[in-house]
Amino acid sequence: MIATVLVDTNVFTARLRERSLLATSYAKHLFGHRLAVAPQTVAEARYGALSAGWGHARTERLSRLIARARILPVDIDTTETVARLRDECRQIGHGLHQRHHNADLWIAATAIRWHIPLVAHDAVFAGCPGLELRTELDTANP
C-alpha cells in the first residue's frame, strides 16, 4: 500500500518552478507517496496565481498539479480537530492559534484528522501538538 502525505502550499507549488531548490530538497519526502492537500492549499495556490497574474499556460500547470493530488474533504471530524487544535495551541502559546495562521491551522488539523504526516517548509508547524511534521527546516533551532 502506498503511504499518503499531506503537502503544504509552498512545497506543493514549488514543483511548478523550474530548478526549484525547495522542490529538490523535498522530493525525498514526496517520491513514492500519494500526495494529498487540504482545500486551503488549493485556495492559497489559486489565489497566488490570480494575484500574480499568471498566464493560461502556468495556470493550466497548476490545475494539472491539483488534479493529480487527492483533496481531502472537510468533514465534521476535521472541524472538531481544528477547534481542539486551536484551543490546545492557545493554551501552550503555539503560533497556530493566531488568526493570521488560520489556513495553516486548518492544514495541520487536516493532517492530524486523517492521521498522515505533513510535508511543509514553514516553521509555524514545528512543535504543533499531535502533528507528524516532515520538514527540511532545522526545527531544533527555529
DSSP 6-62: EE-HHHHHHTTSTT-HHHHHHHHHHTTSEEEE-HHHHHHHHHHHHHHT--HHHHHHH
pLDDT, average across residues 33-53: 97
pLDDT, average across residues 98-115: 97
* Residue of 124, 92, 128 lying closest to 109 (CA atoms): 128
The three three-digit cell numbers of residue 141, written as one number: 533551532
The three three-digit cell numbers of residue 67, written as one number: 488534479
Residue 53 scores a pLDDT above 90: yes
